[in-house]
Amino acid sequence: MARRDTPEINAGSMADIAFLLLIFFLVTTTMDVDAGISRRLPEKQPIDAPPPPVIKMKNVFEVIINRNDELLIEGEYHEIKDIKQMAIDFIDNGGGKGNPMPNEVDGKECTWCKGAKDEASSDHPNKAVISLKSDRSTSYGTFIKVQNELGKAYTTLRNRLAKELYGTTYTEMVDDLSKDKGNATLKDKIDKIKSMYPEIISEAETN
Amino acid sequence: MSKFSKKKKGMPAINTASLPDIVFMLLFFFMVATTMRETSVMVKQQLPTATEVKKLEDKRLISTIYVGEAEDQKKYGEGDKIQLNDKIADVSQVRNFIFSQREPIPEDERDYMTTLIKADIKSNVGTINDIKKELREINALKVTYSTNIGVEK
């Protein structure tokens, strides 16, 4: 039997079709991952709610941003780069007894704090409130920068604590958890560190 | 006639059979690595940059509110505008927007719903606060301020 060559199929237009599809996907899709700074808003209080417990002024770290994006930290003018260290000093002060941790009746002193134990500064990380007040016309960019610096302060402290307790940083632990979602022991560790340095940031508006 | 025939003139055809394969490979890469653009953004968007960020995983549970100056200032005027879905809207419409986003989500997952505020770097905190006030009213308490992911210096 005579061997017959199969005729070659012209696939020249295949590339064109694939390019067409490719360009379509390039145009209609985005690659960006949504990321951002997460915060939890305070719950709405009913009108007949009991007045909130009085917070001692020494447990409040006051950051005010004015309409010209200038910062007033604890009543003094400062720059954005100063916030982080000031916040760390304030949160980590540990000058007294804190709120009772879960499963405890009385508040204990902060044994993991390395701060100055200044009487005039915060008692305990779980009592230390950071109050961020901003003007209506404060620019959003500055607001985020300040939020970011405050976040950095907490991360620094948590990293330090995690290094002491578990030999790895908090950031690494969070990264590991995002890769291995079902890891319960790791999650417990992270929650423990979070409860030892809870992030308490209150955002208010001044006019 | 000589034994050696003269070479054919011109270039031989280049075999392009692998070209579609390469393009298909690119195509599949883009199909897998990207997500569909859902809304066209009608406000100026230059996001601030931050390092302490959390990536948002589940797109289903995110409702996005865009804030910024309108691209088309002749039509919408100056100042910060709020965009919900594909329309420039008013603060008072934020409520209904969140309700409509909440509707298709199963009851037990509603607590994980997050409102992503994508605001321009130059917009005012006042506008954001107005939105936050609305969100508090309807108990949508999880908020994320969208930023670009920066690198630690």
Reported as a single tens digit per residue, the pLDDT across A110-160 is: 888 888 888 788 888 888 888 888 888 888 899 999 999 999 999 999 999
> Do the chains contact at B126 and A205, CB–CB below 8 Å?
yes
Strands A201-206 and A129-135, by their bridges, are parallel
Contact residues, chain A, for B51 at CB < 8 Å:
148, 151-152
Asked whether the beta carbons of B118 and B64 are under 8 A apart, the reply is yes
Cβ distance of A37 and B53 shorter than 8 Å: yes
Using CA coordinates, name the residue in chain A closest to B120. A140
For A166, the 3-state DSSP assignment is helix
Give the distance, in angstroms, between the CA of residue A9 and the centroid of all CA atoms in the same chain: 59
Q: Are B76 and B70 in contact (CB under 8 A)?
A: yes
When CB atoms are compared, the residue of B67, B126, B132 closest to A137 is B126
In chain A, the percentage of residues whose pLDDT exceeds 90 is 2
For chain A, give the mean pLDDT: 83
* B35 contacts on A by Cβ (under 8 Å): 29-31
Total-model pTM: 0.79
Model confidence at A207: pLDDT above 70: no
Contact yes or no for B95/B50 (Cβ under 8 A): no
Domains and CATH numbers, chain B: 49-149 (3.30.420.270)
Lowest mean pLDDT across A41-55, B103-117, B119-133: A41-55
ipTM score of complex? 0.77
B29-78 tens-digit pLDDT: 888 888 777 778 888 888 888 888 888 877 788 888 999 888 888 888 88
Q: Which of A144, A146, A194, A203 to mutate to test the interface with B (most CBs of B within 10 A)?
A: A144
